[in-house]
A and B are shown apart, each in its own frame.
Chain A
Amino acid sequence: MNSRSTPPLKNRNRARFNLRGRLALVIGALGLCSVSLIGRAAYVQLINHDFYQRQGDSRFLREIPIPTSRGMITDRNGEPVAVSSPVESVWANPRELLKAPDRLPELAQALGVPLDHLTNRLSQRADKEFVYLKRRINPDEAHRILAHKVPGVFSQREFRRFYPQGEAMAHVLGFTNIDDRGQEGLELAFDEWLRGKAGAKKVIRDNRGRIVENVDLVRSAQPGKDLTLSIDRRIQFLAFRELRNALIEHQASSGSMVILDVATGEVLAMVSLPTYNPNAIGQVGAETRRNRAVTDVVEPGSTMKPITVSAALKAGAVTPSTLINTSPGYMSLGRYTIRDVPRNNGVLTVTGIITKSSNIGSVKLAEKLPNDYFYSVVRSFGYGSAPGSGFPGEAVGILAPPARWNGLQKATMSYGYGLSVTPLQIARAYAALGNGGRLVTPTFVKGEHHDAPQVLDPAIAREVVGMMETVVTQGGAKRAAVLGYRVAGKTGTARMASGGGYARGRYASLFAGLVPASNPRFAAVVVISDSQEGGYYGGLVAAPVFHNVMDGALRLMDVPPDDIETWLAVQAKADAKLAGNKPAAAAAAMPASLDDAADITDSPTFDAPPPVAVQGTGGVR
C-alpha cells in the first residue's frame, strides 16, 4: 500500500515539476522578447531609419547659410559704379549676456552707448535669444567690439550696396532694398544676373550655438556676376554737371539727357534731374526717382522735322533743293493758325526748312505724302514702340495710327505735335539718321548688339545730316557748335501739355544732335522742361548743354576733329589779336606758361634726362 501510496505522491510531484514545460515557457518568453527587440531594432534601423536619423541630427547638426555678395556694376572702362561691401551687424543673446552683468559697462563703452540704454534694451528682451546691438557697421569696428570677448555677443555679416558716383548715376543704376534685391533701374533689370545664390553648409553645434565642426558643404555660395555697362562714367558726370548747371541757370523744373553711341546703340550717358542720393534713399518721392529720359514723354516739337524731311525724301516727293513757298509765314489749319517763328521765310529749299525750322514748310512737305506712308516712316524710326533697351518702365510714347487721326493730325505731326516720345526714342531716331539709316536698339550693356534694320536709304540719311549741319552753322543752334568738329542737330521747343490742354507759359526746350557730322559717333538729346529764366527756345536753353557735354565727350573718347580748318582760323584770329593789341599781356603770360612747363616735366621723368643729383649717385656706384 505504502508502495502504492508513494508512487502517486511521486507522480504528483513529477507532474507538478514539469521541467520541459517550464524551460519551453522561459525560452519562449525570452525568445518573444528578443524577437520583439529585434523587430523593434529592425523597425528603427531599417524601416523608419530616416526619421530617427533626422531627429538625431537635428539635435546637433545645423544647416547654416553662407552669405554671398551681389555682383559689381562697372562702367565701360571697368570703374566700379555699384559695389557691395560687407558690413557687420553685432547681436547678442540676452540670456547669456545677462549672466555676466559685470561685463556690461565694458560692452556699453565699446558700443559707444550709455550703460542704462543697453541694460534697458537687454532686460526688455531678457527672455529672447536674439537682439541687435548695432546694425550695419564697419567690420573693423565690429571686430573691436568682439575683441572684448563678452559672452553672448556675436556678429553676423551682411552686405550693403554702395554707389560711389552718387546722384550722377542714380537713375540709371537704381537701388536695392535691405534684402539686396534690385528695386529700380538696372539693379532691377539685371537682378537675376547680379544676385548671388547663398550657399549652405552643415555644421555641428554645441548647446551654446558655437560651431564645433564643419561637417559638409550642402551647396557652395555662388557670388553674383559682375555687369559691365555701356555708360562712361566721365561723360555721365559731365552730362550731369552741365544739365544741373543749366537747370539752375534757367530755373527749370526738370531735365534729361541721353547720349547714344551711334554705331552700336550703346547708352554712353543718361541723366535725369532732379536726382537723389542712392546711398541714402530715405524719403525720396517717386517723382524724383523716375528716370525721365526713359519714362517721361514729351512732344518732340521741331526735332521732328528731320524725320518729316526724311519721309518726303524717301518717298521721292522732293530733293534737298526743291523749292517750297512758305509765304506768307502763317497758315490756317482748321480752327488754328500756325506760323513760322520769328517771321515769314518766303521761298525755302527743303534744306532751308530745316535750317529755319519752318513749320509751314514741314506741313507742306507732309501734305505731299499719303497718311499711311507718313505714319509708317515715323513708326520706322521707332516712335510709338518701346526702344527695347530693357530698362524697367520704358515708355512707348503716343503715336496714333492714321485711322484715328483727325483732319489735322498729319500736319501737326510734321512739326512735332500730336505725338509723344521719350528722350531715348528721339536719341534712337537721330542715331538712325547718323549711322546711315540703321535703327539701332539702345542697350545699357557694353558689347551687346542687336540687329539694326535698315529703315532709311544711307544716301538720304547723309543728306538729312547735312541739312541739320546748317542748323548749327546758320540756324538757331549756333550755341551747339563745338570748335573743331562739324555738328548736326535740330532744336525744338514744345509747349507742355497738362490737364488736357497746353499749359500757358510752360515749355519743353529740346536739342537733338549728332557729332561729328562727317561720320557721327554720338547722338545726344537734351530736354529741359519749364525754363523760367533766360528764354525757353531749344537753341538758347538746350543747345549750350549739348555744346558743353559734347566738347568734353569728344575729347574723352578721342574722336578726331573733322573740322580743323575752322579751328585754325579761330586760332589765327586769336593770335593776331594777341600779337597786335596786347603785346604786354602776351609778355606777361610768357613766364607763367614757362613755369607750367617746368612743373609738367618735373613729375614724369621717363623720357626726360635724369636730374643732376640722380646722375651723381649713379656715378658713385
Chain B
Amino acid sequence: MMRFLIAVLLLANVASAIGVIYARHRHRQLFVELSRLERSRDELNIEFGRLQLEQATVAESNRIDQIARVRLGMKFPETNDVVVVRP
C-alpha cells in the first residue's frame, strides 16, 4: 500500500515537473509570438501615422491653394458667377 502510494506520488511529481517545463516553454513561445505581433502592430501603426502625415502634408491648404490657382488656373467664383436658385 505504502509502496503504491509512493509510486503514485513519484509519478505525479514527475508529471508536475514536466508540466512546469511545458508551461514555461509555452509561455516563452507565446511571449515571442506576442512580441512579434506587437512589433508588427506597431510597425503598421507607424506606417499608418506616416501615411497620414504624408497625406496631411500633401493636402496642406496653402499647397492646394497654390496648385489650384497657379497650375490649374482655377479661381474663386466672383459674385457675378454665382447663380442663386430659389427653392
Q: Decide yes or no whether A72 CB sits under 8 A from chain B.
A: yes
Classify the secondary structure of A's interface with B: mixed
* Distance from B85 Cβ to chain A, minimum over Cβ atoms (Å): 10
Contact with A along B20-59 (1 / 0, CB 8 A): 0000000010011011001000000110011011011101
Residue with the highest number of chain B CB atoms closer than 10 Å, among A164, A166, A214: A164
Q: Decide yes or no whether B1 CB sits under 8 A from chain A.
A: no
- The interface size bin for chain B is 20 to 34
Answer whether A214 and B62 are a contact pair too, CB < 8 Å, given A83-B52, A85-B49, A85-B50.
no
Contact assessment for B53 and A83 in the assembled complex, using a CB-CB cutoff below 8 Å = yes
* Distance from B65 Cβ to chain A, minimum over Cβ atoms (Å): 8
Contact assessment for B56 and A79 in the assembled complex, using a CB-CB cutoff below 8 Å = yes
3 pairs of A and B residues whose beta carbons are closest in the complex: A164-B56, A237-B61, A83-B53
How many angstroms between the C-alpha atoms of A241 and B28 in the bound complex?
A: 58
How many angstroms between the C-alpha atoms of A570 and B83 in the bound complex?
A: 11
Answer whether A483 and B79 are a contact pair too, CB < 8 Å, given A164-B60, A165-B60.
yes
* Distance from B63 Cβ to chain A, minimum over Cβ atoms (Å): 10
- The interface size bin for chain A is 35 or more
Q: Decide yes or no whether B71 CB sits under 8 A from chain A.
A: no
24 contacts between A and B (CB under 8 A): A69-B45, A81-B56, A83-B49, A83-B52, A162-B53, A162-B57, A164-B53, A164-B59, A166-B60, A201-B35, A213-B32, A214-B32, A214-B35, A216-B31, A217-B31, A217-B34, A233-B61, A234-B61, A237-B65, A238-B61, A241-B62, A241-B65, A483-B79, A574-B79
How many angstroms between the C-alpha atoms of A24 and B57 in the bound complex?
A: 90
- For A217, the chain B residues whose CB sits under 8 A away are 31, 34
- For B57, the chain A residues whose CB sits under 8 A away are 162, 164
How many angstroms between the C-alpha atoms of A86 and B79 in the bound complex?
A: 47
* Distance from B62 Cβ to chain A, minimum over Cβ atoms (Å): 7
Q: Which residue of B lies closest to A164 (CB)?
A: B56
* Distance from A290 Cβ to chain B, minimum over Cβ atoms (Å): 23
Answer whether A571 and B83 are a contact pair too, CB < 8 Å, given A80-B53, A85-B49.
yes
* Distance from B14 Cβ to chain A, minimum over Cβ atoms (Å): 23
- For A33, the chain B residues whose CB sits under 8 A away are none
- For B84, the chain A residues whose CB sits under 8 A away are 484, 564, 567-568, 571
Q: Which residue of B lies closest to A574 (CB)?
A: B80
Answer whether A168 and B46 are a contact pair too, CB < 8 Å, given A213-B28, A215-B31, A578-B80.
no
Contact assessment for B62 and A168 in the assembled complex, using a CB-CB cutoff below 8 Å = yes
- For B45, the chain A residues whose CB sits under 8 A away are 69, 223
Restricting to A164-180, which residues have a CB under 8 Å from any CB of B? 164-166, 168
Q: Decide yes or no whether A119 CB sits under 8 A from chain B.
A: no
Q: Decide yes or no whether B3 CB sits under 8 A from chain A.
A: no
Answer whether A69 and B52 are a contact pair too, CB < 8 Å, given A168-B61, A570-B79.
no
* A-B contact sample (9 more), CB < 8 A, given A86-B49, A165-B60: A69-B49, A84-B49, A164-B53, A164-B60, A165-B56, A214-B28, A216-B31, A217-B31, A223-B45
Q: Which residue of B lies closest to A552 (CB)?
A: B76
Contact assessment for A165 and B61 in the assembled complex, using a CB-CB cutoff below 8 Å = yes
Q: Which residue of A lies closest to B43 (CB)?
A: A86
How many angstroms between the C-alpha atoms of A10 and B83 in the bound complex?
A: 142
Identify the A interface with B (CB < 8 A). Answer: 69, 72, 79-81, 83-86, 162, 164-166, 168, 201, 213-217, 220, 223, 233-234, 237-238, 241, 483-484, 564, 567-568, 570-571, 574, 578
* Distance from B24 Cβ to chain A, minimum over Cβ atoms (Å): 11
* Distance from A515 Cβ to chain B, minimum over Cβ atoms (Å): 17
- For B60, the chain A residues whose CB sits under 8 A away are 164-166
How many angstroms between the C-alpha atoms of A69 and B43 in the bound complex?
A: 12
* Distance from A27 Cβ to chain B, minimum over Cβ atoms (Å): 30
- For A578, the chain B residues whose CB sits under 8 A away are 80
Contact assessment for B83 and A83 in the assembled complex, using a CB-CB cutoff below 8 Å = no
Q: Which residue of A lies closest to B55 (CB)?
A: A80
- For A80, the chain B residues whose CB sits under 8 A away are 52-53, 55-56
- For B65, the chain A residues whose CB sits under 8 A away are 237, 241
- For A241, the chain B residues whose CB sits under 8 A away are 62, 65
How many angstroms between the C-alpha atoms of A79 and B84 in the bound complex?
A: 31
How many angstroms between the C-alpha atoms of A81 and B60 in the bound complex?
A: 10
* Distance from B60 Cβ to chain A, minimum over Cβ atoms (Å): 6
* Distance from B53 Cβ to chain A, minimum over Cβ atoms (Å): 5
